[in-house]
Amino acid sequence: MKKRIGEPWMPAPACSATLAGITLNLLVRDIEASVAFATGVLGATAIYKDPDFAALRNSAGEWCLHADHTYDGHPLSALLGEPGTRGRGAELRVHGYSPDAAEAAARARGDRVLAPATDKGHGLREVYILDPDGYTWVVDELARTA
């Protein structure tokens, strides 16, 4: 059941007409917590948010968050209550944003840092951070030693 009161930021058909290529939609337990992570750790801006949905943007692109409760009757709804980390095995990468800044922000917020900012042999400096729903975000930029 949707919790939004009033009209959305744009009608769904109009939003759908803007989509192209690959899009990223994440199902989350708490829109506010996930928006706070994205803005505080990933340098994102909330284009729009309500209790059901948020659209976010940063230097890497745009993505959407959908609250679990909005997926009633959706094929994924039966899986949402299963235990375990969401998105296990997937990396959501944000290129061109400081992994050191993201790590510092994540630690200050109490988010789980899986691996600290490190220069890798493939030429990127990257940090691995879990968001409130357990999705793995890898923030990277060109390594200082590259």
DSSP letters for 90-116: -EEEEETS-HHHHHHHHHHHT--EEEE
What token pair was written down for 96? 């061109």
Asked if the structure places residue 26 within a domain, the reply is yes
pLDDT for res 22:
67
pLDDT for res 19:
60
* Pick from 47, 51, 58: nearest CA to 15: 47
pLDDT for res 128:
95
pLDDT tens for 13-64 read 776 676 666 678 898 999 999 999 999 999 999 999 999 999 999 988 889 9
What token pair was written down for 25? 């939609």
CATH number at residue 121: 3.10.180.10
Residue 146 has pLDDT above 60, yes or no: no
Asked if the structure places residue 38 within a domain, the reply is yes
The boundaries of the domain holding residue 134 are 12-142
What token pair was written down for 127? 């940090």
Residue 11 has pLDDT above 80, yes or no: no
Asked if the structure places residue 1 within a domain, the reply is no
pLDDT for res 111:
97
Higher pLDDT, 36 or 7: 36
* Pick from 136, 139, 111: nearest CA to 26: 136
pLDDT for res 25:
87
Asked if the structure places residue 2 within a domain, the reply is no
pLDDT tens for 53-107 read 999 999 888 899 999 888 877 777 777 777 777 787 788 999 889 999 999 999 9
Average of per-residue pLDDT across 134-139: 92
Q: What are phi and psi of 125, to 5 degrees?
A: -100, 125
Contact 137, 90 (CB under 8 A): no
Asked if the structure places residue 119 within a domain, the reply is yes
Asked if the structure places residue 7 within a domain, the reply is no
Question: One-letter amino acid identity for 20?
Answer: A
Asked if the structure places residue 59 within a domain, the reply is yes
Distance CA 101, CA 43 (A): 9
Per the structure, the count of domains in the chain is: 1
Please indicate, yes or no, whether the overall pTM of this predicted structure exceeds 0.85.
no
Contact 59, 97 (CB under 8 A): yes
Asked if the structure places residue 3 within a domain, the reply is no
